[in-house]
Every structure is written in structure tokens, then in C-alpha cells.
Structure 1
Amino acid sequence: MITVIGFNTAIDRFIRLDSLRPGEVSRALDEQVSPGGKGLHVAQTIAALGERVQLIGLVDPAHRNMIGRQMCERGVLFHGIEIADSLRTCIALQDATGQITEILGQGPLLDVTQQEALLRAFRRGVEDSDLIVLSGSLPRGFESTIYAELAAHVRDAGKRCLVDAGGALMRHALEVQPFVVKPNRDEITELFGRPIADLDAAVAAARELHARGVAMPVVSMGALGAVAVDDSGTWRAAIELSDVRNTVGSGDCLLAGVTVGIARGLPLEEILRLGVACGAANALAEETGYATRASVNALAPQVRLQRIEF
């Protein structure tokens, strides 16, 4: 069993526009609404690849049935902590050129009782699982040290923890040396305080994270691919795509593939291949944050791997 912590469940709205001009009226050509949040994206893609997975997050009365039905249909065991307030909304606006502008909602403000309900579910999840994924932002009310505390709990239980977060959440989590961290280009740039604009810079950053005690840092770089490091060496992986439709959630799907690869005991290069194939599968589809097994299997042989020598 894999447990995914996606406390800040969202409702994703992907809207296509003719154009997006600040200060002017824009009319939607079409709109897709689906359950979202980084953790949910990770969990449903893990399930699509055939692994047992449970997701711990929030649910509100208005979306309880929609989220529960989708998670059930996709094979995710969903432990939803219900709140009276509304879930956050994440909006992605795509103009005619394909450029995407994202607006990420803040999420509800949780009281101590609601926070403790999520943490109890987390502790039960650790008991059930060998891999625990901490993914995305948090609802308001939690301290920025909470991922570090959860990762330390996972470590002390003798389990492996994967962290995908930005800002202070990631900085604090690094202090307890989780098994995997997966920053994207913006997050690793913020973390190191210097531009990480190409794969060479990403390799250097990943190696530095490994030297700081992270067993398997993975840095995702969008269309440039991804790099990963462990004790066996350093690898790059990339794939060329010609018909990109929706890149929102591709990093989440990449993390799902990495998680599945670790669960299956694959070598680093094959873990990275699976992750990049999952990210690519999402980018070629219309839905946000989901990769089907058939599309991943079709794309995996197209992923180019390169071992980077020290």
C-alpha cells in the first residue's frame, strides 16, 4: 500500500479562451471541472499504474459525492475529512497559443480539531504503508514545519517518505532528509536562491541535495525532462512531444511514476523513465493530473535516458 497525503484537496477548473488580456473581458470556449489538488493527482495516477494507494485529504458537502465517486472509479481508497467550508478552487486558463495561466486558491482555514483529524488519518496511513507521499500545499492553519514533522514520523517508523512541496514546507522538510524530494524548476530555484534554468544546473542542484542526505532527489524541468541522483549515479530523462494539450499536473504524474518505480524496486534510470512517461502522458491528454496506464506504456519506450558521469 502507498499512502498519499494531499491535505489541500481542490476543485480544478481548466478553461480554454480565445485570448487572455488583463483588464478585459474574456469568454470561455469550454471548461472542464474535476477533483484536484497535487496529492489527488498523484494518487489517481498511482492507481492507474496498478498499485494499491490511499489518499488522505479534505472534502466538503458540495463536492463529497463527486470526489468520492471519481476516487472509487479510479481505484483510490479515499479518506476524506469533511469540513463545512468550501474546498479551494484552482483555475487554469489556456489561451489560443497554448500558454497556461494558473490561479491557485488558498484553501480553507482549519481549526485544531480538523487538523488533528487529518493527522490521525496520516498516522494510520503510515501504519498501513511502506511509502508515504507528502504532496502539495497545505490548508491554512498548519505551520510550515508540518511536513518536516510528518517526514520525521515516517522515518522513525522505518518507512520511506517522498516530498513534493515548495517554499518553507520544502526547506524545513529537507532538514529531516526524506527519501525523495521532487522540486520543479521554480521550486529548486527558490530553494537554492539561484537560477536553475537548464539541465546542467538541475544536475548540480540534485547532486547537492543528495550530498545533504536526500537518498533520491528528483528535479523536474518541464519540457527539458528531469534529473535524478542516488548512490548508483546520476541520470537525465527526456521525451519529445508534438501535441501538448495540458501540462498542468504533469509534475504530479511524474511523482506518481517515481513512487511506483520505487515501490517496484526498479533501478534509478527506470524509475526516472516511468516518471517522465507519466508526466508526458498527462501533457498529451486534456484532463488535469491524470495518466492512464495505456498511454504511459506507449510513451515509456520513447523516453531518452542519459547517464551523467561524475
Structure 2
Amino acid sequence: MILTVTPNPSLDRTYEVPSLERGGVIRAGGERMDPGGKGVNVSRAVAAAGRRTVAVLPLGGAPGALVADLLDAQGIKVAPVPIAGATRSNIALAEADGVLTKINAPGPELSAQEQELLFQTVRAEARDTDWIACCGSLPRGLAPSWYAELVARAHAGGARIALDTSGRALLEALRERPDVVKPNAEELSEAVGRPLATVGDALKAAEELRERGARAVLASLGADGQLLVDSAGIWFGTARVDVVRSNVGAGDSSLAGFLIAGGYGPKALASAIAHGAAAVRLPGSVMPTPDDLDPAAVTVTSDVPVDRELKEPVS
């Protein structure tokens, strides 16, 4: 069972549009409303794979009630933390050529009492849990060290932690040795303070995060593939994707695939890549089912192409 923690969830509205025209009237060809937030998406991907999951998240106001209803309709157990503020609402505009424009609201501010209740809820729900996935940005009121404290508390209870966040929150959490961190290329570059132009650059950055405390690093390089660096070795993988419809939640689906497959080694990396590739072929933030996966399109190797230039370099 995989428990997810999303400190700053959202109600996400995704519109499929032919193209963006600033100042114009755009008619959407498709519309979706989904529960959002990186941890929420991980739970949705785990549930779509037919596995058990519990989503711990602070919820407030009408948007929060709708998020809970939408998750319940997908068969996901929700462990809500009631808050005084309203859950944020986000908007995503998905163009026909695959370009995505997102408008993310800041979210409510959590009080000290609400923060402690969030910790307590994670502890209460963490029994019989294989992994705890802590994901996304921190809402107002939570210090950058909040994830570090959560990792420390979870480890004290014997749980394994997967962490998907960025900036100072990621750096501070490293000292508590999360079992795996999952940065994308931009987050990886920000964490080490230098640009990434090649797969080798990304590899060196991932190794640096391990030196700082991460037990394993699952680095998503977008269209360039994924890297896994842990105590057992280094692996690089890619997948063939013919048509990209939306990359919303693709990284979250990838993390779910990694944890579903055990969260360790090249088989887990292959599962992560297969789930991420399947997600980008689907509209909006739809999560892939096993029928959507194409394992034959995935290639994983320990021969990392360190000199390969990234198609999407990070400056």
C-alpha cells in the first residue's frame, strides 16, 4: 500500500484548446476537472494500476469537498485534514501541439494546529504502508524544513519515504536521508546550482544529491529519459512516444510506477518510464491503466550515454 502526502492539493480544470491567442476568445475542444497536486496524482496513478493507496491532504471549502468527492469516485481512500482556508483551484490549457500552460493558485495558509494535525494524520494512516510519497510544494505557513521533519518522523516509525519537491524544501530534507528523491531536470539543476547540458551533467548532479543525503535519486529528464542512481548502481532509460497529448501528471505517474515496482533497481526504473510515457499519451491529467502501458517501448541500460546532449537543456 502506498500512502501519499500532498500539503498543497488543488482542484484542477484542464481545457484542450487549438492554440493560445493572447487577448482573444478561445473555444475549448475538451474539458476535464480533476483532483490535483503531485501526491494526489501519485495516488490516482496507483489506483489506476489496481493497487491500494491512501491520500492524506488538507482540505477546506467547496473546492476541498469536491476534491474529496472526485477521489472517492476513483476508489481512493481520502484521509482529510480539515482546514479553515479553501483548497486552491488551478487551470491548465493544453494546446493541440502538446504545449501546456498552467495557472497555479498559491493555496491557503495552514495554522500551526493544522500543520500538527497533518503530521498526526500521516502517522495514523502509515500503518502497513510500503511507501510514503511526500509530494509537491508547501503551502503558506509551512516552513521549508517541514518535509525534513516529516521524513524524520516517518523514518522513526519504520516507513520508507519518496520525496518529490524542489528548492529549499528539497535541500533541507536531504539531511534526513529520504529513501528516494525524484527531481525533474529543472529541479535537479536548481538543487546543485549549475546548468545541465548533457546526460552526464544530470548524472553528476544526481550523484551530488546522494552525497548530500538522498539514498536514491530518480531524475526525470523529460523527453530525454530518466536516470536512477542508488547504492546498487546507475541506470538510464528512455521510451518511444509517438504522440504527446499532455504532460500533466506524467512525472507523478512515473513516481507511482517506480514505487509500484518496488522502488529499487532497473525494473522499477523501467516501470517508472513506462508509466510516464503512457501518461503523456493521454489527455489532461488522466492516469494510465495497465492497458495503456507499452513495456516493449522502454529501454533501460547501465551504459549511461554521458556525452549525449539534452534535447531540453537547463540553463
TM-score, length of structure 2 as denominator length: 0.90
Against the structure 1 CA distance between its residues 236 and 278, is the aligned structure 2 distance closer, same or farther, given a 3 Å change threshold? same
Does structure 1 conserve the Cα–Cα contact (< 8 Å) formed by 2:91 and 2:104?
yes
AA in 2 matched with 1:269: P
Matches within 5 A, 1:97-246: 97-246=97-246
Instruction: Provide the secondary structure at the position in 2 that maps to 1:120.
Output: helix
- Bigger shift: 213-222 or 300-309? 300-309
Matches within 5 A, 1:38-77: 38-64=38-64, 66-77=66-77
Does structure 1 conserve the Cα–Cα contact (< 8 Å) formed by 2:179 and 2:215?
yes
Q: Quote how far apart the aligned CAs of 1:125 are.
A: 2.6
Does structure 2 conserve the Cα–Cα contact (< 8 Å) formed by 1:9 and 1:57?
yes
Number of the residue aligned with 1:83: 83
Instruction: Provide the secondary structure at the position in 1 that maps to 2:248.
Output: coil
AA in 2 matched with 1:219: A
Number of the residue aligned with 2:287: 290
Instruction: Provide the secondary structure at the position in 2 that maps to 1:110.
Output: coil
Instruction: Provide the secondary structure at the position in 2 that maps to 1:208.
Output: helix
* Identical-residue share of aligned pairs (%): 33
Against the structure 1 CA distance between its residues 101 and 287, is the aligned structure 2 distance closer, same or farther, given a 3 Å change threshold? closer
Instruction: Provide the secondary structure at the position in 2 that maps to 1:123.
Output: helix
Against the structure 1 CA distance between its residues 214 and 64, is the aligned structure 2 distance closer, same or farther, given a 3 Å change threshold? closer
Does structure 1 conserve the Cα–Cα contact (< 8 Å) formed by 2:192 and 2:208?
no
Against the structure 1 CA distance between its residues 305 and 176, is the aligned structure 2 distance closer, same or farther, given a 3 Å change threshold? same
Separation in 1, partners of 2:150, 2:81: 18
Separation in 2, partners of 1:55, 1:110: 18
Does structure 2 conserve the Cα–Cα contact (< 8 Å) formed by 1:220 and 1:226?
yes
AA in 1 matched with 2:125: G
Separation in 1, partners of 2:11, 2:27: 18
Against the structure 1 CA distance between its residues 190 and 64, is the aligned structure 2 distance closer, same or farther, given a 3 Å change threshold? closer
Separation in 2, partners of 1:294, 1:196: 35
Q: In the alignment, which of 267, 285, 302 is matched to residue 270 of structure 1?
A: 267
- Bigger shift: 95-104 or 166-175? 95-104
Query: Is 2:300 aligned against 1:301?
Result: no
Against the structure 1 CA distance between its residues 216 and 112, is the aligned structure 2 distance closer, same or farther, given a 3 Å change threshold? same
- Bigger shift: 90-99 or 243-252? 90-99
Number of the residue aligned with 2:250: 250
Instruction: Provide the secondary structure at the position in 2 that maps to 1:153.
Output: helix
Against the structure 1 CA distance between its residues 278 and 182, is the aligned structure 2 distance closer, same or farther, given a 3 Å change threshold? same
AA in 1 matched with 2:148: A
Against the structure 1 CA distance between its residues 18 and 301, is the aligned structure 2 distance closer, same or farther, given a 3 Å change threshold? closer
Query: Is 2:5 aligned against 1:10?
Result: no
Does structure 2 conserve the Cα–Cα contact (< 8 Å) formed by 1:49 and 1:292?
yes
Q: Deviations over 1:100-120 (max 9, x none)?
A: 122221111122222222121
TM-score, length of structure 1 as denominator length: 0.91
Separation in 2, partners of 1:268, 1:171: 24
AA in 2 matched with 1:45: A
Separation in 2, partners of 1:255, 1:127: 21
Q: Quote how far apart the aligned CAs of 1:9 are.
A: 1.2
AA in 1 matched with 2:103: I
Separation in 1, partners of 2:126, 2:221: 30
Q: Deviations over 1:233-262 (max 9, x none)?
A: 110111121111011110111111111122
* Alignment gaps of 5+ in structure 1: none
Q: Quote how far apart the aligned CAs of 1:287 are.
A: 3.3
Against the structure 1 CA distance between its residues 247 and 92, is the aligned structure 2 distance closer, same or farther, given a 3 Å change threshold? same
Q: Quote how far apart the aligned CAs of 1:75 are.
A: 2.9
Does structure 2 conserve the Cα–Cα contact (< 8 Å) formed by 1:252 and 1:289?
no
Does structure 1 conserve the Cα–Cα contact (< 8 Å) formed by 2:17 and 2:27?
yes
Separation in 2, partners of 1:59, 1:28: 31
* Alignment gaps of 5+ in structure 2: 307-315
